[in-house]
Amino acid sequence: MSSSYGLPAAIGIVHEGEPEQGQQGSNPGTEGKGSGGSGGGMGSVRSQWPTPAEMRQAAQRRGMPHWQSAAIVTMADVTEALQQQLAPIRQALADWWEAFKKWLQKHFGQVIGTLLVLMLLALATGLSLLLREARAGIWLRTRFDYWRYVVFGRHEPGHEGVRQFYGAVERLFALHGEPRPENRNTQEYLRRMGLVRPALRLELLAITFQFEDSRYGAKPPDPEQIQAMRERYRRVFRALSE
């Protein structure tokens, strides 16, 4: 239907607007019409889908077989029915799009602000993941623990203070490649650390026993016990930092 070469007939190719009898003698320039003449070559094929009216008009061309004409008419009917069925949907989509553009123009500043906040959150998340992969995050946390708990003494009293020091010791060993697995209790972790760091076995033993006594005991630790925990953590930190 979209071809500019006409339809096959008994005498050859019949083009629209041309007589069925070829007049090659009187018009010598028409022989090359199909291969680059004024009728156009392969680049003249239409790029748009024809309308139902164009399909029905094409189905009435002379020399077309009946089955081909009937198929084109059927395709025109189907296309027209689909266009009628899809017309409300297209109109609804167009209305939604227009309403969205109006809303966007009205709230343009808020949209830009929200996008900037989302970009900052994405950058912060990426930076957090990068620090975690590079172990820089846990390195900063261990230094923060030391300055907070040892240098400035900003730790809680009682059970909470012991828990803070034990957590700080765990982070120290996690920084050096020995984190405590979730399925390993304190005694199992103590035995493992005693093998990895035999020079710190006594310090780790005292820290573990004091943590268990504070966790399972009813009496809260006194300030002297908290101070002893602080000194043990300081020695562990300096030994691992050397």
Task: Mention every residue, 6+ apart, whose C-beta is less than 8 A from residue 73.
Answer: 55, 56, 59
Task: Mention every residue, 6+ apart, whose C-beta is less than 8 A from residue 40.
Answer: 4
**Averaged over 145-172, what is the pLDDT?**
93
- Identify whether 42 is part of a domain: yes
CA dist 154 and 143 (Å) reads 14
User: Based on the domain organization, do 228 and 142 belong to the same domain?
Assistant: yes
Q: Are 226 and 207 in contact (CB under 8 A)?
A: no
User: Based on the domain organization, do 68 and 160 belong to the same domain?
Assistant: no
Q: Are 221 and 161 in contact (CB under 8 A)?
A: yes
Domain that holds residue 96: 49-106
The structural domain count of the chain equals 3
**What is the Cβ-side half-sphere exposure of residue 145, based on CA atoms within 13 angstroms?**
24
- Identify whether 89 is part of a domain: yes
Q: Is the pLDDT of residue 43 over 80?
A: no
pLDDT of 2 reads 52
User: Angle CA(145)–CA(164)–CA(192) in degrees, nearest 5?
Assistant: 90
User: Based on the domain organization, do 55 and 43 belong to the same domain?
Assistant: no
User: Based on the domain organization, do 140 and 237 belong to the same domain?
Assistant: yes
Mean pLDDT is lowest, of 9-18, 67-76, 228-237, for 9-18
User: Based on the domain organization, do 153 and 235 belong to the same domain?
Assistant: yes
pTM: 0.48
pLDDT of 224 reads 92
- Identify whether 114 is part of a domain: no
User: Based on the domain organization, do 148 and 211 belong to the same domain?
Assistant: yes
Q: Tell me what the pLDDT averaged over the chain comes to.
A: 80
Residue 61 buriedness (CB in 10 A; 0-12 / 13-18 / 19+): middle
Q: Are 178 and 196 in contact (CB under 8 A)?
A: yes
List beta partners, residue 7. Answer: 14
User: Based on the domain organization, do 75 and 43 belong to the same domain?
Assistant: no
- Identify whether 112 is part of a domain: no
Q: Is the pLDDT of residue 152 over 80?
A: yes
- Tell me 219's DSSP state: S
pLDDT of 8 reads 53
User: Based on the domain organization, do 163 and 87 belong to the same domain?
Assistant: no
User: Based on the domain organization, do 87 and 11 belong to the same domain?
Assistant: no
With cut-offs at 50, 70 and 90, classify the pLDDT of residue 212.
very high
**Averaged over 100-128, what is the pLDDT?**
88
Question: Which pLDDT tens digit goes with each residue over 7-41?
Answer: 554 444 444 444 444 444 444 444 444 444 444 44
Last residue of a domain, one of 106, 127, 148: 106
pLDDT of 216 reads 87
User: Based on the domain organization, do 39 and 102 belong to the same domain?
Assistant: no
**Averaged over 60-79, what is the pLDDT?**
88
pLDDT of 46 reads 45
User: Based on the domain organization, do 182 and 193 belong to the same domain?
Assistant: yes
Residue 204 buriedness (CB in 10 A; 0-12 / 13-18 / 19+): buried
User: Based on the domain organization, do 44 and 77 belong to the same domain?
Assistant: no
Helix (H) or strand (E) run with residue 238 in it: helix 223-241
Residues making up the chain, counted from first to last: 242
